[in-house]
Structure 1
Amino acid sequence: MAEIINVFNFLKDYNEISNPVITDITKQKWSMGFKDIPKIEEIWSAFAEGVNDEKILDVIKPVLLPCPIPDEMIIDWIEGDWKDLHIDAIKFIEEKTKVEHSQAGDIEQIEQFSDNDKRVNAFTSWIEERNEWLNKEIPKEKGLEIYNKLFKLHSDIKRESESVELVLGDGNVVWKTLGISHPVLLQKVKLIFDPDVPKFTISCEESDTELYTSLFRTISSVDQSILSDVIKDVEENNYYLTDTINTSALFNRLINVVDKTGRLVEEYEKDYTGPMIKSDPMLFLRKRNLGYSLFIEKIIEEIKSNESLHLPDFFNTMIGKYDNTTKEIIEEESWNFNGIDEDILLTLPANNDQMRIIKYLNHYGAVLVQGPPGTGKTHTIANLIGHLLSEGNNILVTSHTEKALTVLKDKVYKDEEIDLQSLCISLLSSKSQKEEMDKAINEMAIKSTSIDLNKEKEAIEKLTVERKNLIEDYKKLRNDLISVRSQEYKDLVFDNQTIKPIEAAKFISEGIDKYDFLEGNTTDCTVNLPLSEDELIRLYSSNDDISEDEERMLSKKLPLLGELWTVEEFEEGSEKLNNLQSATLIEKPILRLTISEKDRLN
């Protein structure tokens, strides 16, 4: 076991080198503190309202109103861009010089702003209106900035959804000497966009709270034994981040675990260099690989604590322990090109290569399949799921991307009677997991109440026999077809000579109406004609020596030997015929048998 533990320790260390622990929140891909969120009607915050709910934040797009328009009598006296929301103090022009034109010439007159009381009162009233506008619109502008940040964040998450996740954090630990400034109590959240309002909603329906244990492991002063108790407490009690009373007590415990000089503070102390923790909720975007090291640590802990734990045999190869016994080489029979096997039940069509993958898995306990997109890997996994379920196994499927799991689920077998997709439960989303769990339970409940086990067992036995017979028939038919097909490419043997099929076909094609052959069957198509050319000519020339009547007579069947007359019967018949001829006085030749003819017939 020590060698295997070393393998996992190597993987853990390699991951930490490739993905170092982020201890400064500003180095995350994106972050936003709740303290920066203004209090306006368009924004609702669970932290501001002090409620414990799945919903954390609502941000409706604020609509900025224009600045109140000043009266016409003062609009020309106002300096600068009075419409600009970022200009706080608005000044007026103290005096203006007017030029009056007359016959005597141009006369300049200086007019003071304060010369007209109505103008002064109008400016004062407008300034009050504008200040009210500033007090309302400046927070709304900040709210619009937050909305725009969330809009960009939504686009980034959508583009990189498989590699990033949005997290809500609180309990910000600051330790200036170590360069640490990061929340430690975390919870994954979702960012939902409603374009009809438009509005962004952040909710924490995904998973339970967790501690940022990777950060604690970078601090040498942390008491790891007490930290384990705190981790267990967080896992069991599921703290709400908006429940500031409970989280404050937790933060106080945590900072004392970090270091004996740790402090729980309301505001950060500028001159203090020790560790501090403060309730300072914030959102941030992080890479998804942060739980990899923790996962490996749990594997190592389980291997150490369970001496009877059985690990797959392929681990021996990883640590250099090779099996010297000869392994069976798995090869499919030549007929099995469609992935049919008597011992393996599949729910989807398969080929010989996919069948070999399943047999390797059954034989060795592990198999590595590599191939470019579109080569049937997902189809093969879906087929594996059906096969493993038929053997009563539980199956866990993992992937780098959630999209790949969704595609795989759609490939799993489903029809009107059997729905294996309903047994697939996602472990990534608590909401979808609940829906899929309910669907799976409902499917199992329906099947369990509608199935007669005895009848099903009988049906299984019957189908097993039928399937076996069908496979045997399939083998025979396929072999017959292959044999017939092979004749098209097999060389012909004629007159002790080998002839290519293409050459024979050309000869027959060119010999139509020229080399026609006699009708009839032959006992051996590989031998030549038993007649020479002269004998064949003589045979055909004999057609002129035989009359049509003789040819018809010769074409008739010969009588059976038992039906032929004996010599005595023939003599008796001949005598009767001669007597009849004499009686009728018709001259006819008299039939007599000579001594030699008698001997020949006998």
Structure 2
Amino acid sequence: MLNRKLRQQPVTELTKSKVRQLYQFLKQANQLRYTPIRHIESQEKFIRFAEMPSHPTLQIQRPIRVDEETQETPEFLVRVRRPLQTLCPTPPQPLQKWLLSGWDDPTKSVSTAQSLNVVTEVLFTDDPQRVQDLRDFSESRRLGDNSPVNPPTSIAAWLKDGWEEEGSAPEVYERREITETIRFSDDPERVASYQGWLEQRSGWVEPELAARRAMAFYERIYDLYVTLEKDGENLELVVGDGRLQWRAVSEGATREPVPVEIDHPILLKRVELRFSPEVPEFVIAETDREPELYSSIFVDLHDIMAAAIRNRSNELDQAGYHPLGWDDTTGFLRAFVQTISPTKGEYLESPPETGLGNSPRLYRDPMLILRKRSIGIANAVNAIIEDIEATETFPSALEQITGTGTVNRPGFRGGQLV
């Protein structure tokens, strides 16, 4: 971590102490400016892999450990292609006026109107009996006393105004619009056509629902991509697992106990999000960054042994457990929760049904996290502090900043007064 090639003489304990104080100060200053994010909801964005629907356009490839020091890195970790969505089969034309709205929505069931009022145009001459009734009525008027009499029911609605006047011959309209109420079930052929179309639609519904769920996930990845494109200098994408849930106690800036809630993955690794517009698809691929322990959420917690966290961090540095790893990652996470609480820490095989508790609980819940790059400062400073004890040489500039540099001044040697 620190440059060990700029100076050949071993550093003194005074230099180590001063450098340690400097980085402790930087650590405290960083904590005051950047409070560690302990709740996943407070990150810029996050997407749980458990929310990824099952669909051929969505794939996850997890690294496979070959031996204690080697694991196979897949071509990609996640691939998200845009799914093909299709339209609902078109119902036969005679059925379309009977279908209620939403028939082309796979999330809704299909319903038809039980009956319709149908307006049809009828010619007077369509009914021979009606024509005969008009003749008979006209003849009776001609031979009678022309006194008003009620016309036959079959022609009453067809007669034009004025038929009651004395000496006038009854006249009728040539055509009329008639409203009839028709029930859907009145036509067996219509019912059979509807059942046949329902079978076609049923075969479309499930694949289309799956495609739409995949499309919703694709759009969430697209949202990540757009956000990174806009603010990539300040944001980075990591994959995380080992979700820790715990209602803990922090010492706070004033050293007074303060309750804090933790709900966040503790095993993280930087990844890269790529977009191929010609497919189109998004690919989440590995980077050369090593997995990291999200140790900054523990630095101010009460009763947490810094040395134990440091040991787990060193183990991670050596083994490189991947957040998407298999049994090796699970074993590391099991041990980690016992590290932070040997008597109450609990590893769960599935997410808890209850909320946060007073005891730390940890379980596997891989996810993508979009976070601010500043969060990585705390981890870097912590790593430097842990490295100081084993460091044999420091850059001369760092020694001069702490006032322990080996400048050629009378009375000083190795940063000490002689």
TM-score normalized by the length of structure 2? 0.69
- For residue 257 of structure 1, the aligned residue among 301, 323, 339 is 339
Residue 180 of structure 1 is matched in structure 2 by 262
Q: Deviations over 1:239-297 (max 9, x none)?
A: 23333322222221122223232222213131662322221110011122223223323
Displacement of 1:53: 2.2
Residue 28 of structure 1 is matched in structure 2 by 43
> What secondary structure, in the 3-state scheme, does the structure 1 residue paired with 2:55 have?
coil
**Separation in 1, partners of 2:55, 2:43:** 28
Residue 152 of structure 1 is matched in structure 2 by 223
Distance 1:210 1:153, change over 3 A: same
| Kept after mapping to 2: 8 A contact 1:52/1:242 | no
Q: Which has the higher strand share?
A: 2
Q: Does 2:100 match 1:79?
A: yes
Residue 162 of structure 1 is matched in structure 2 by 233
Residue 300 of structure 1 is matched in structure 2 by 385
Q: Does 2:29 match 1:9?
A: no
Greater gyration radius = 1
| Kept after mapping to 1: 8 A contact 2:64/2:73 | no
**Separation in 1, partners of 2:401, 2:282:** 52
**Separation in 2, partners of 1:151, 1:313:** 45
Q: Does 2:363 match 1:278?
A: yes
| Kept after mapping to 2: 8 A contact 1:192/1:201 | yes
> What secondary structure, in the 3-state scheme, does the structure 2 residue paired with 1:189 have?
strand
**Separation in 2, partners of 1:81, 1:313:** 72
**Separation in 2, partners of 1:272, 1:8:** 33
Residue 88 of structure 1 is matched in structure 2 by 108
Residue 202 of structure 2 is matched in structure 1 by 131
**Separation in 1, partners of 2:62, 2:205:** 26
Kindly, what percent of the aligned residue pairs are identical? 24
Q: Deviations over 1:499-540 (max 9, x none)?
A: xxxxxxxxxxxxxxxxxxxxxxxxxxxxxxxxxxxxxxxxxx
105-114 or 187-196: which moved more?
105-114
Residue 110 of structure 1 is matched in structure 2 by 181
- For residue 268 of structure 1, the aligned residue among 327, 352, 356 is 352
Residue 405 of structure 1 is matched in structure 2 by none
> What secondary structure, in the 3-state scheme, does the structure 1 residue paired with 2:77 have?
strand
**Separation in 2, partners of 1:228, 1:4:** 19
> What secondary structure, in the 3-state scheme, does the structure 1 residue paired with 2:103 have?
coil
Distance 1:197 1:264, change over 3 A: same
Displacement of 1:47: 5.5
| Kept after mapping to 1: 8 A contact 2:64/2:326 | no
Distance 1:322 1:204, change over 3 A: closer
**RMSD in angstroms over aligned alpha carbons?**
3.1
**Separation in 2, partners of 1:269, 1:176:** 16
Displacement of 1:7: 2.4
Correspondence list, 1:70-469, <5 A: 70-85=91-106, 87-102=107-122, 103=124, 104=155, 105=157, 107-175=178-246, 178-259=260-341, 260-265=343-348, 266-270=350-354, 273=357, 274-306=359-391, 309-312=393-396, 315-316=399-400
Residue 168 of structure 2 is matched in structure 1 by none
Displacement of 1:138: 2.1
Displacement of 1:154: 2.1
One-letter amino acid of the structure 2 residue matched with residue 188 of structure 1: R
| Kept after mapping to 2: 8 A contact 1:303/1:309 | no
Q: Deviations over 1:19-38 (max 9, x none)?
A: 11111112111211111111
Distance 1:12 1:75, change over 3 A: same
Aligned length: 324
**RCO comparison, higher one (Cα < 8 Å, 6+):** 2
**Separation in 2, partners of 1:309, 1:100:** 100
Displacement of 1:16: 1.5
Residue 44 of structure 1 is matched in structure 2 by 59
Residue 67 of structure 1 is matched in structure 2 by 88
Displacement of 1:52: 6.2
Q: Deviations over 1:428-452 (max 9, x none)?
A: xxxxxxxxxxxxxxxxxxxxxxxxx
**Separation in 2, partners of 1:145, 1:192:** 18
| Kept after mapping to 1: 8 A contact 2:99/2:110 | yes
Instruction: Identify unmatched segments of 5+ residues in structure 1.
Output: 327-602
**Separation in 2, partners of 1:80, 1:141:** 20
Q: Deviations over 1:109-166 (max 9, x none)?
A: 3221122223223323333333332311222222222223323322332333332211
**Separation in 2, partners of 1:48, 1:6:** 40
**Separation in 2, partners of 1:88, 1:53:** 40
Distance 1:193 1:71, change over 3 A: same
Instruction: Identify unmatched segments of 5+ residues in structure 2.
Output: 1-14, 66-71, 125-154, 158-176, 249-259, 411-418
**Separation in 2, partners of 1:241, 1:316:** 41
| Kept after mapping to 2: 8 A contact 1:52/1:240 | no
**Separation in 2, partners of 1:304, 1:242:** 33
**Separation in 2, partners of 1:248, 1:313:** 43
Residue 12 of structure 2 is matched in structure 1 by none
**Separation in 2, partners of 1:292, 1:101:** 82
Q: Deviations over 1:398-453 (max 9, x none)?
A: xxxxxxxxxxxxxxxxxxxxxxxxxxxxxxxxxxxxxxxxxxxxxxxxxxxxxxxx
> What secondary structure, in the 3-state scheme, does the structure 2 residue paired with 1:179 have?
strand
Displacement of 1:170: 0.9
One-letter amino acid of the structure 1 residue matched with residue 230 of structure 2: R
**Separation in 2, partners of 1:13, 1:256:** 27
Distance 1:208 1:48, change over 3 A: closer
Displacement of 1:201: 0.7
> What secondary structure, in the 3-state scheme, does the structure 2 residue paired with 1:208 have?
coil
**Separation in 1, partners of 2:371, 2:211:** 28
Q: Deviations over 1:293-324 (max 9, x none)?
A: 23323333444455x64552674465599999
Displacement of 1:218: 4.2
**Separation in 2, partners of 1:204, 1:321:** 41
Displacement of 1:56: 0.9
Correspondence list, 1:541-552, <5 A: none
Distance 1:310 1:56, change over 3 A: closer
